[in-house]
Structure 1
Amino acid sequence: MLDIPSRVRVHVETLLAAQNDMGVCDAIEQYAPVGKPDAMSAPHLPKVAGIDSTVPSPAHTVAPTSAVTVTPSATSSTGPGADLQDRLAGLVSDLTTLHELTERLARTATLSDALEELLRAGAALVGARRGLVVMEPGDGLGPDTTIGLGLARADLGHIETIPRSCTAYGKLLDTAAGLPGGEAEITQPDLFSEDGLDPRHREVAAQLGYAASYALPLSTDAAGRLGAAVWLYDEPAEPVERQLHLIGRYARHATEHLARLLELERTRACLTTMSEELLPSRLPRVSGVQLAARHRTGPRGGGDWYDALPLPDAALGLAVGSVTGSGPSAVAAMGRLRASLRAYAVMEGEDPVAVLSDLELLMRLTEPARSATALFAYCEPALRKITLAGAGHSPPLVIGPRRTEFVETSLSAPLGMLACWEAPSVELTAEPGETVLLYTDGLLHRTGDPMDRAFARLHAAAASVPKAVRDDPGALADHVLRSVLPDGLDAADSEEDVVLLAARFE
């Protein structure tokens, strides 16, 4: 063993790894520390710029041309022990850096957030300030997107004017280089001195002010090619060996995380499409009433739905409801329930109680493991008369110049909860210019408040509708959404489904 201070004890394999300047994880994997040092007298190699928030970002993006050295005056001791201690400190610093970056990446829950984090972390690891990631899954199922770091949308547009075959990301995406086992990277240390550089590429590089680039493919053996990432340097430069090792390991981990998020994104998009296709593609036009609907689907896909259909004798049927559960099965059950209600509404829509009774019987026979809430209203626009019945559903809200109040409906159980459902109907007459707002419980649940406070918030939002938008049911519904669900709670990826159906009577 070498003469090393007692505070640091390592095996011989450690010395060999350090002397051969092995990579971070390769060296760490080949040694096991006998003891834990209580302190390191030699200074640690600094972390990569941008990792520690207390360290200011570099003023330029030129990568260092040689490894960082520690002068004898900066260390408390000299000799082989001090040199080994410095190398170990660098290895620990690199490992800590990778751990922090992967932890940040793991906390991202959406594909766009993960791509942005990939760009930021990669820029810090290779010593760049700007970059872009092009997402183009090889299976052609999308989503295809381009995200920039330090590049405006117009800058990305300029880059896209370069012939694709002349760009680093184009070479990775359109050839075997971007596939698992293909070329791992494309380094262009000095674009303007490069022979055969496309004139348009030279023009765009000069316009945007970058002189070098480093590109990596984003691909996995399981998912295939996902995309490519490119980082841009302001001056001629290229990553050093230590930076290449770090970015390579980080990119492999990031690509696996992106593959998981991509699959989740596709599942969400599929469920959203299914939900939208099972809902009305457009609302009917009926004399004497204006209609508008708003729908927000949760990430797992829920069973909230709405419907509006013309009925005989110039009548109009309005319905909202919610099926228990989430995911594809709940979406499919919602579609069956809505289709059945439409059939019953055409046959006996003037009696909302009969419509819901038939629906309850059907659910009990065909969906015994589910329950649902529903509200059906039979409207006569010429008379502004509404007859409605609800099964465990929240009461409608009447919004007008002179009043904002909930409709008094009888308390009843959801469909499928009792052996035989029946509840009395309620009649009301809307004044000219009043809007009847039907909604699902998701609007109340997304607030996170107890139900009494959620109802109070909804009433306050409806009462504060500006006069200028009262004549537009769509604008009125948007105002209610923004007021009841502030701070992004109305986003499509919130937990609960939300449905609003507004009918303004003339």
Structure 2
Amino acid sequence: MLDIAPRVRVDVDSLIAAQHDLGVCDAIWRIAPAGKADAMSAPHLPKVAGIDPAVTASPHTVAPTAVPTAASTPTSPRTAHAPAQGPAASSVIQDRLAGMVSDLTTLHELTERLARASDLTSSLQEFLRAGAALVGARRGLIVLEPSDGLGPTSTIGLGLGHADLGHIETVPRSATSYGRILDGLPDAHGGSEVLPEPGTAPGTGAGGYATPVDPRHREVAARLGYAASYALPLTAEATGRLGAAVWLYDEQAEPNDRQRDLAGLYVRHASEHLARMLEVERARTSLATVAEELLPSRLPRISGVQLAARHHTGPHGGGDWYDALPLPEGALGLAVGSVTGSGPSAVAAMGRLRASLRAYAVMEGEDPVAVLSDLELLLRLTEPARSATALFAYCEPAGGPNSNGRGRKLILAGAGHTPPLLIGERRTEYVETTLSAPLGMLSCWEAPSVEIEPAPGETVLLYTDGLLRRTGDPMDRAYARLHAAAAGIPRSAREDPAAICDHILRTVLPDGDGDGPVAPADASEDIVLLAARFE
């Protein structure tokens, strides 16, 4: 948190205390170095329960008192610290110390809230909200643009919609204080920038900028209704410049010295936290990219079958996978599975397991039990510390000898995996696969297969248990929720397996939104959906 010396020397005469309205930073810098050996070790007051973002000034900070007259001002250094100054001087000092404690409590509360943010997006949002409360602004934005060029880059607004951010981005970067920070100009250090009233001659703003206001900047400011801004760079010791933050004022205003000091301390700490979250986000992105590359880049085109898949990787990177591969004589193999564990090792094991299953499926795919038996033997011999669940389905060729003119026949075998879901106009039901142990759990795995005959227009949905676990419900309720979501698929979406997957994700996941299959960002489970619609 904040590095503050455990003992702060206080040696202030009543005249200095009366003339200066000291905030926490001024008090530390002006009081601590001066005076004699008189010391005070003050414990921290209890933490304030909540902070009103609209309040920007500490209630303990009072207006400066009148300067004492020469007749009442002591001239001897010895008498300058005597208690004979009266209760007024003591009250001023107590108010200043109370203001210092209040400011430190505020910073402690805000930095604790930031530390509780679990990812980069939530950290940026919390940083922007806390900064607005400290500088007394209502709106603002933060632009994440690391100077190393490795990304990620993003812009997040506070009180600004996507359209508002789009308008701001049309302003030339050199015309804004935060844009000059992002461009790395040597004279760009942020600060206040007050836009002059329309029709007035350009002058020097409060932040020291003497350049004329860009016409586009003035137009956007008038459209969005802000008249001043306060920008600060985000710089971490290890990574350098991360980006810039700017807060917008509705009036021609700027933060006072106390607000600047508090905001500076907070931004200094927050930048280090954001740098750590940035590294975590980069690691997650790299791991997710590797996992996606280990999965099929595109699904095969098989006559009479439409395929669609959805894969969402958890923040730690899991071992859920899927596969769809064409087999000899026009057959089709469908597979889903999950490797225990998370992180890079689980992703690597998933890649090895999927590649092995593809080889076994090509050699003896018409017998799913044999495919899983070979896979179990390989897993037990090469990776004895791991277990995995898997489900493999062999889809006979169209018009095969066993089709009977009614459609394709599927032969399935599962090893501790969730049962497939058969979705159609007249039925929505789980396929009762034989209950068996996961791969690697027994010395010898074997279970009977089951056969189903999807009617034309029906869809077989394969999925991993991450879909059920992300609901947060017990498994029986999660199964019921998935069944209800499948039964409620609109008629217009039943002809498209991709639309079926999207509907399932939006309906089943508690945090899914209406714009697409977006899984909760803080979920730890992978999600895999593989849908096959038969014509």
Q: TM-score, normalised by structure 2?
A: 0.81
Quick one: distance in 2 between partners of 1:37 and 1:368? 54
| TM-aligned CA deviation for residue 442 of structure 1 | 1.1
For the 8 Å contact 1:297–1:492, the answer to whether it is kept is no
| Paired AA for residue 504 in structure 1 | R
Partner in structure 2 of residue 495 of structure 1: 524
| Paired AA for residue 281 in structure 2 | E
Aligned residues: 472
For the 8 Å contact 1:397–1:405, the answer to whether it is kept is yes
Alpha-carbon distance change, 131 to 356 in structure 1, aligned in 2, over 3 angstroms: same
Q: Do structure 1's residue 150 and structure 2's residue 179 form an aligned pair?
A: no
Quick one: distance in 1 between partners of 2:422 and 2:477? 19
Give me the CA root mean square deviation: 3.0
Partner in structure 2 of residue 422 of structure 1: 446
| Paired AA for residue 211 in structure 2 | G
Alpha-carbon distance change, 93 to 492 in structure 1, aligned in 2, over 3 angstroms: closer
Mind listing any 5+ residue stretches in structure 1 that lack a counterpart?
1-9, 40-46
For the 8 Å contact 1:288–1:381, the answer to whether it is kept is no
| Paired AA for residue 162 in structure 1 | V
| Paired AA for residue 519 in structure 2 | D
Partner in structure 1 of residue 63 of structure 2: 69
Partner in structure 1 of residue 74 of structure 2: none
Alpha-carbon distance change, 330 to 500 in structure 1, aligned in 2, over 3 angstroms: same
| TM-aligned CA deviation for residue 373 of structure 1 | 0.6
Partner in structure 2 of residue 210 of structure 1: 226
| Paired AA for residue 301 in structure 2 | R
Partner in structure 1 of residue 211 of structure 2: 196
Quick one: distance in 2 between partners of 1:493 and 1:36? 37
For the 8 Å contact 1:297–1:493, the answer to whether it is kept is no
Partner in structure 2 of residue 4 of structure 1: none
| TM-aligned CA deviation for residue 78 of structure 1 | 5.0
| TM-aligned CA deviation for residue 350 of structure 1 | 0.8
Partner in structure 2 of residue 104 of structure 1: 113
| Paired AA for residue 191 in structure 2 | I
Partner in structure 2 of residue 89 of structure 1: 98
Q: Could you list the per-position Cα deviations for residues 297-345 of structure 1 after superposition, in whole angstroms to 9, with x for gaps in the alignment? A: 1110100000001111110000000000000111111111111111111
For the 8 Å contact 1:25–1:95, the answer to whether it is kept is no
Give secondary structure in 2 for the equivalent of 1:155. helix
Alpha-carbon distance change, 271 to 236 in structure 1, aligned in 2, over 3 angstroms: same
Quick one: distance in 2 between partners of 1:280 and 1:36? 60
For the 8 Å contact 2:25–2:261, the answer to whether it is kept is no
Q: Do structure 1's residue 159 and structure 2's residue 188 form an aligned pair?
A: no
207-216 or 286-295, larger mean C-alpha shift: 207-216
| TM-aligned CA deviation for residue 212 of structure 1 | 2.5
| Paired AA for residue 365 in structure 1 | L
| TM-aligned CA deviation for residue 239 of structure 1 | 2.3
| Paired AA for residue 299 in structure 1 | P
| TM-aligned CA deviation for residue 289 of structure 1 | 1.4
Quick one: distance in 2 between partners of 1:134 and 1:37? 35
Partner in structure 2 of residue 323 of structure 1: 339
For the 8 Å contact 2:22–2:96, the answer to whether it is kept is no
Partner in structure 2 of residue 126 of structure 1: 135
Q: Do structure 1's residue 463 and structure 2's residue 490 form an aligned pair?
A: no
Alpha-carbon distance change, 120 to 341 in structure 1, aligned in 2, over 3 angstroms: same
| Paired AA for residue 156 in structure 1 | L
Q: Do structure 1's residue 185 and structure 2's residue 209 form an aligned pair?
A: no
297-306 or 391-400, larger mean C-alpha shift: 391-400
| TM-aligned CA deviation for residue 123 of structure 1 | 2.0
296-305 or 24-33, larger mean C-alpha shift: 24-33
| TM-aligned CA deviation for residue 184 of structure 1 | 4.6
Q: Do structure 1's residue 226 and structure 2's residue 235 form an aligned pair?
A: no
Quick one: distance in 2 between partners of 1:373 and 1:34? 61
Mind listing any 5+ residue stretches in structure 2 that lack a counterpart?
1-6, 33-37, 67-85, 197-201, 205-209, 513-517
Q: Could you list the per-position Cα deviations for residues 275-313 of structure 1 after superposition, in whole angstroms to 9, with x for gaps in the alignment? A: 111111221111111111121211101000000011111
| TM-aligned CA deviation for residue 33 of structure 1 | 4.4
Q: Could you list the per-position Cα deviations for residues 396-428 of structure 1 after superposition, in whole angstroms to 9, with x for gaps in the alignment? A: 122222322222222221111122222222122
| Paired AA for residue 15 in structure 1 | V
283-292 or 405-414, larger mean C-alpha shift: 405-414
| TM-aligned CA deviation for residue 452 of structure 1 | 2.6
Alpha-carbon distance change, 402 to 209 in structure 1, aligned in 2, over 3 angstroms: closer
Alpha-carbon distance change, 162 to 34 in structure 1, aligned in 2, over 3 angstroms: closer
| Paired AA for residue 443 in structure 1 | L
For the 8 Å contact 1:14–1:27, the answer to whether it is kept is no
Q: Do structure 1's residue 435 and structure 2's residue 459 form an aligned pair?
A: yes
Matches within 5 A, 1:197-346: 197=212, 198-346=214-362
